[in-house]
Amino acid sequence: MVNAASIGLSTRDLYLFNKGDLFHSYRTFGAHPIRLGDEHGVRFAVWAPNARQVRVAGSFNDWNGEGHAMELVGETGVWSLFVPEIGAGDLYKYEIETLEGNWLLKSDPFAFGAERRPDTASLITDLTKYKWRDEEWQRRKQDGSPYHESMLIYEVHLGSWKNKGKEQFLTYEELAGELVEYVAGMGYTHIELLPILEHPLDQSWGYQVTGYYAPTSRYGSPEQLMILVDKCHERGIGVILDWVPCHFCKDDHGLRRFDGTPIYEGTDWKRAEKPIWGTLSFDFGRTEVQSFLISNAIFWMDVYHIDGLRVDAVASMIDLNFDKPPELHTFNKHGGTENTDAIRFLKRLNETVFHYYPDALMIAEDSSAWPAVTSPTYMGGLGFNFKWNMGWMNDMLRYIELEPNERMHHHNLVTFSLVYAFSENYILPLSHDEVVHGKRSLLNKMPGTYEQKFAQLRLFYGFWMTHPGKKLLFMGGELGQFDEWKDAEMLDWKLLQYPLHHSMQQYVKRLNTVYAEQSPLWERDCDPGGFEWIDVHNAAQSVIVFMRRSHDCNRFTITICNFSYLHHGQYRIGVPERGNYRTVLHSEDAVYGGCLQEVQQEAGSSDIPWHGREYSIEVDLPPFSFQLLSFGDGEVNIPY
């Protein structure tokens, strides 16, 4: 056995790792270029508690680890070795002898770089060279509060936003120019990256990971990723990373039976199996796994300055039998189906992240009805600060796909979300999952003629943008794509040569700008006092009208949506104040592909009580139209 101190390891750190409390374990594990005495080289450390032997094989020893046997550090299950005269750029793997005498060749779970698939070796990487320039962004972020600020997220799959041909991807550095400028120009506040942790299969979109600490080499080097994040921050854009702690893939070089035994997935194979994905669940009750995963969350914020994590598949984590056939069902010690280990893990994860990064975004992608997902753990919650509103998304997509003459019979699909809209801190997602696998693109979900599809998509976006909750749109939604997302091809940018698609992009850009300008649309997203129905029961005409208020209650907006194919002229709406109501945006403006050459710029109130209010205004409601009116914001806000 080796003495930990002799190779620069801390016995306390190894103790904390075994205990589940080493939250920066990437500083201990993996391959670290260091100086030991008078020698420069690389220190390797890996957890393989049930291995007979572990060796390092790599490009520096012709992939034969016989001369580079690692030594066990005490009774920690950790093996370590210092190899002189090697460094960044060298490739390596671990040769692991199992208890049965078989030899495995494994990538490093803590590798900071990886070969480009289909090759699977780990890459010795020095992450200390890049000089960050985002101090101003970090200061500004600390002074803000995400609950009371605008949040408009552009969800991106880097390999198919744009590319140079089949499997000819733009690099992180190239994306730092073109993508970031596009996102900033369109008015988004954040980019959310589909998983960029190293993964073997393109078609998994990054959701089946082998290298949790290595950004995928498909798009270039770790330093190039740092350039991308830095550029986002320079342009005032936050970066959210899709993060997948639920499960991992079964590829031989990965975490499955890492030392010949199930140390990451646990020994209960029924609990470990994720049959719908062909993957394995982490053993969230194992302390070393907790150190590994929580450290990984911290790592992306520490090293890559990621601003937040969207935690994938929370529902699958907290339910032992989520999407499993009866023969794989298991139960907790109380006889229930809750995964109590996963629940404790999620609470601890969020507590730890917010301890180190109080201004982080921790977003739950959760389709369950689990309560208090975004409540603090000391109040019994899971401790996230935002959650995707999957109920709103499913109801609204179901509603908007209905034939217009059927919508009056399903009016509750539009209104029901306000029953629970303030029970959590919500993000309203229109994500990649809704435009693949035969679900059709957002535009193609709309019924009717070519022009009616565009009109309804503009209407739908207007309702989405003004409904309580932060916002997320998957790339391509702003173009009005007809086809579903194709992960192996880039977006259909050629559509912009056609007037209605170009107008749709300009409409989304203007809608994004209006959202940023109108504080009632985001200041009180988590406060029921910031929302008020004006006309909620008009199912017969498929019309809804509601109000959003800012902290300054004298400033508010009114959203008017006509989801029917009929024109409603001289439609009267009750309003709370006497005065002029300015048209901020009208979806049927010809500028955006609509039918109106001129849009009424304001509506003056009358002393005619309506909808339980002292005053009212009259507006014209074209078919499939959205209008946003503003009161109390000073100058007329003209969108032309």
Identify the CATH number of the domain in which residue 581 sits. Answer: 2.60.40.1180
Residue 490 CA to residue 608 CA, distance in Å, equals 54
Backbone φ, ψ for residue 38 (5° rounding): -95, 5
Q: From 467, 471, 468, select the one nearest 524 (Cα to Cα).
A: 468
* Peptide bond just before 622 cis, omega within 30 deg: no
pTM of the model: 0.95
Domain presence at residue 208: no
- Both tokens of 467, joined, read 């409904």
Residues 373 and 381 sit within 8 Å (Cβ to Cβ):
yes
Supply the Cα-derived Rg of the chain in whole angstroms.
27
Domain presence at residue 239: no
Angle between the 287-304 and 340-356 helix axes, to the nearest 10 degrees?
A: 30
Domain presence at residue 89: yes
Residue 231 CA to residue 237 CA, distance in Å, equals 8
Residue 86 CA to residue 70 CA, distance in Å, equals 16
Q: Which helix (H) or strand (E) holds 630?
A: strand 625-631
Q: Given 65, 94, 123, which residue is the final one in a domain?
A: 123
Residues 495 and 450 sit within 8 Å (Cβ to Cβ):
no
The per-residue pLDDT for 166 is 86
DSSP notation for 278-296? TEEE--TT-HHHHHHHHHH
Residue 594 CA to residue 597 CA, distance in Å, equals 8
Residue 486 CA to residue 501 CA, distance in Å, equals 18
Bridge partners for 602 per DSSP: 582
CATH number for the domain harbouring residue 80: 2.60.40.10
Integer angstrom CA distances of residue 412 from 273, 549, 551: 38, 23, 29
Domain presence at residue 91: yes
Domain presence at residue 29: yes
Collect the ranges in the chain with pLDDT lower than 50. Answer: 634-640
Number of neighbours of residue 52 by Cβ within 10 angstroms: 15
Q: Given 123, 142, 174, which residue is the final one in a domain?
A: 123
Backbone φ, ψ for residue 197 (5° rounding): -70, 145
The per-residue pLDDT for 553 is 73
The per-residue pLDDT for 337 is 96
Q: From 70, 128, 119, select the one nearest 91 (Cα to Cα).
A: 119
Residues of the chain by 3-state class (helix, strand, coil), percent to 5: 30, 25, 45
- Provide the 8-state DSSP code for 378: G
Range of the domain at 58: 4-123
**Catalytic residue ranges:** 312, 365
Residues 614 and 577 sit within 8 Å (Cβ to Cβ):
no
Domain presence at residue 586: yes
Backbone φ, ψ for residue 295 (5° rounding): -60, -35
Domain presence at residue 280: no
Residues 415 and 378 sit within 8 Å (Cβ to Cβ):
no
Bridge partners for 280 per DSSP: 248, 273
Domain presence at residue 67: yes
DSSP notation for 586-607? ETTBGGGT-SBSS---EEE-BS
Number of domains in the chain: 2
Helix (H, G, I), strand (E, B) or coil at 614: coil
Task: Enumerate residues 6+ apart whose C-beta is below 8 A from 6.
Answer: none
One-letter amino acid for residue 625 of the chain: S
- Provide the 8-state DSSP code for 113: -
CA dihedral of residues 399, 393, 465, 503 (deg, nearest 10): -70
Q: Given 103, 123, 143, which residue is the final one in a domain?
A: 123
